Amino acid sequence: MIGYHIDQVLRFHLRCYQLIGMHGLPLSSDVYPRQKSKLLNLWAGCLLTGFSGVVYMCLTSDDDFLYQGDNFSYFNDAMKFGFAEMAILSIYWETLSSQRVHLACFWQLYEALAATFKATPSVRTLRQQLLQHWRFLLIFYGTLLLELALLCVYVLMQEISRHLLLFWITFQPFVLVVHLRNTQFVLHLDLLRQELLQL
């Protein structure tokens, strides 16, 4: 894969996506890209295995991960974990398989467009980079803060039982991963928007 130009803001957030297993490609600054790619692939597989293990534990455990008070609530909680597992499988399956080719093509296209419009290179300040990516940053951090605020309000307003504590400790990471996956799509769309505006 050819190298692609990314600024500091973009690099930091791509590293975040690598950390959560959603960006399975090495960055242009990585010294050993082939080994890094294999390591990222392995990491995404480990995360998928871990999330699947949590779902299996919650569905088969005798503890209060699922509400035991009535059958409907028990089934409802089990379905939540089932749909969470389907979401996680689709997210990490893309990272481990077809997405790698399409993602590589996306970043190669981004590099080609960036090189076309940056014939006169200029060093941009961090402030300029933040302004360039403000839409993505607003959605990325806005989503995280809103999720955290809603969780805090829920915790303050709800009497916390053992079931609720166990359920939210195990289910909330799935919600967070799905939100972060959505922000990754927003990042790609915003980068395309920026390049299209320059055409």
Domain boundaries, the chain: 8-197
Identify the pLDDT of residue 122.
57
| pLDDT at position 3 | 45
CA–CA separation, 111 and 40 (whole Å): 21
Rg of the chain taking only CA atoms, in angstroms: 20
Give the separation between CA 135 and CA 14, rounded to whole angstroms: 16
Determine contact, residues 83/77, Cβ cutoff 8 Å. Answer: no
Output phi, psi for 191, to 5 deg: -65, -40
Query: Any idea which of 2-6, 71-75, 170-174, 178-182 has the lowest mean pLDDT?
Result: 2-6
109-149 pLDDT, tens digit each: 777 766 665 544 556 788 888 888 888 999 999 989 998 99
How confident is residue 160, by pLDDT bands cut at 50, 70 and 90?
A: confident
Cα(28)–Cα(115) distance, rounded to whole angstroms?
Answer: 14
What tens digit of pLDDT does each residue of 7-49 get? Answer: 788 889 999 999 999 988 888 778 888 898 889 989 999 999 9
Per-residue pLDDT, 24: 83
Q: Are 107 and 4 in contact (CB under 8 A)?
A: yes
Q: Which residue has the higher pLDDT, 106 or 148?
A: 148
Share of the chain above pLDDT 70, in %: 88
pLDDT of residue 108: 73
pLDDT value of residue 2: 42
Give the model confidence (pLDDT) of 61-90 as tens digits: 988 899 888 899 999 999 999 999 999 999
**23-28 CB contacts, 8 Å cutoff, 24+ apart:** 23/95, 23/103, 23/184, 24/95, 24/96, 24/99, 24/100, 24/103, 25/1, 25/100, 25/103, 25/104, 25/107, 26/1, 28/3, 28/4
Collect all residues with Cβ–Cβ distance below 8 Å to 137 and sequence separation of at least 6: 9, 130
